[in-house]
Chain A
Amino acid sequence: MKALEVDAVSKSFSIPSVRRDTVREHVLAAFRPRRFDRLQVLDSVSFSVSRGEAIGIMGRNGSGKSTLLKILSGVYLPDRGRVQVHGSITPVLELGVGWNPELDAVDNILLIGAVMGLSLAEIRRSLDGILAFAELERFAQLKLKHYSSGMSERLGYAIAFKAVREVLILDEIFAVGDAGFKQRCEQRYLELRAQGCTAVIVSHDPRIIATYCDRALLLDAGRVAFEGRARDVADYYVSALTHLEPVS
């Protein structure tokens, strides 16, 4: 049984030579054409994840990891190809879940919890647990704009770990918090896996990929350069980087 099927997904962004994002700029420069370059971020990426499996995604900066996660999460639309998700997805993208800086922690948990598909009753019930997990009980009434980056990241993981049902998507997991928090995250992650949760994890850290994933794939310039057992991919990634060679 598949949890995620990614079939020949391609994504490119159009990069204009001059950025114009106001009406004024468009009107003033109406007769000055601009050049558009296409940046191919993902080029026919295919893979699938079985239910209960954890897959790691590695790759250098700019290899398309974050774009791939955004497509899996349904934030971006692929240009070509298809993503099929069987079950609900809980993403933590780029160390954040989408906080409103003007709201306090409790209101943000209500908002993000609702966006992640929890009912209001469920969120209210788990509110204390989420705050305790992030060790932020004392700051529950503080607006998120006054939070340190570490605090808001911790809260993000706390709520995602609570809300997740079937598929968990994590960008740079366990990169936040102190040793105690990391340990709680790892423990919770293992619990979720034991319950049959599917995970997609992006990381630069070969130890994390090797430890927490069953399988992994290495992205290079938007293509799957290598796919295999997590440990093999992690080793390959390290040796490719340390030898300063092109990965593919």
Chain B
Amino acid sequence: MSGLVWTLVRTDFKTRYHGTAGGFLWALLKPMSMFVVLMGVFSFLFASKPTYKLDLIVGLFLWDFFAEGTKSGLISLQSKSYLLAKTRVPPWVLVITSIANATITLTVFLVVIAAFLAATGHPPTLEAFAVFAMYCVALLAMVVGFALGSSVLFLRYRDLNQVWDLILQAGFFLAPIIYPLGILPERFHFYLYVWPPTPVIEFSRTVLVAGSVPTLRGHLYLAIDAAVCLILGAIVFKRLSPRAAEFV
């Protein structure tokens, strides 16, 4: 099994980045360049908020993981249909390993974020970073749940990736990534928090940038949110995956 997981991750890496470290650099460069552009424009608009660029980099990198992870998870079974149709391979392995590359990128970003925070005079404490890592795990759980559910649905509904692209495009602005949540009236906040990346991004900023800890209620909400995503996805997957090979 470990050999299978390793070769699958390696396959994704090779086909995605053409097997080169340079290809992997491009994956890192995408949100980095986005960060530079957005910072150039919006740090003037939000000049009153001194920590804007820190908030931006945390939000962007987490968002990039969410977007990349869900996109590759959604198409995972379809893109491995050549295995699904011809071999006895457990489909969940195909789904889980498809998120590996996004997770590797996220891990690199964690280091970049820590370095960036330290360089701008906000070195995170070990505790803060540990809590942040927990939020990343919650985000990972959401992405895994989404990937499980959507990957089997995508085999039946072949335009689901386009629908998801639309949602992601809107979702980028629904999540408070390029704007501080505070500019919106308080009564809207609850609805924004329903969109799963929002609590992860907001809480991560709270511990890393502001240096405080979100409320217990907030944490509970995040845990339930992640659990619901994961369980819902797993249920859909368990129902539909046994016949997945018939739809490829």
Contacts and interface: CB of A to CB of B under 8 A. Distances in A.
Contacts of A74: 88
B3 interface: yes
A77 B243 contact: yes
B33 interface: no
A120 B6 contact: yes
B245 A76 contact: yes
A21 B85 CA distance: 18
A98 B84 CA distance: 8
A129 interface: no
Interface residues of A, number: 35
Interface residues of B, number: 27
A77 B245 CA distance: 9
Nearest to A14: B246
B215 interface: no
Interface in A99-135: 99-103, 107, 110-112, 114-116, 118-120, 123
A76 B157 contact: no
Interface in B190-229: none
B159 interface: yes
Contacts of A114: 3-4, 6-8
A135 to B, nearest CB: 22
A179 to B, nearest CB: 27
Question: By CB atoms of chain B within 10 A, which of A76, A98, A118 has the most?
Answer: A98
Contact of B245 (A70, A91, A94, A111): A70
A22 B162 CA distance: 10
A89 B88 CA distance: 9
Contacts of B14: 102-103, 107
Given A23-B159, A77-B242, A114-B6, 18 more contacts: A21-B158, A22-B158, A23-B163, A70-B245, A73-B87, A77-B243, A97-B86, A98-B82, A100-B11, A100-B15, A101-B82, A107-B11, A110-B10, A114-B7, A118-B3, A119-B3, A120-B6, A120-B7
Interface of A: 13, 21-24, 26, 70, 73-77, 89, 91, 93-94, 96-103, 107, 110-112, 114-116, 118-120, 123
18 contacts: A22-B158, A23-B163, A75-B86, A75-B87, A75-B245, A76-B245, A77-B243, A94-B86, A96-B86, A98-B87, A103-B11, A111-B7, A111-B8, A111-B11, A111-B83, A114-B8, A115-B88, A118-B3
Q: Which 10 A-B pairs have the closest CB atoms?
A: A98-B86, A74-B88, A22-B159, A114-B7, A114-B4, A120-B3, A114-B3, A98-B83, A102-B15, A98-B82
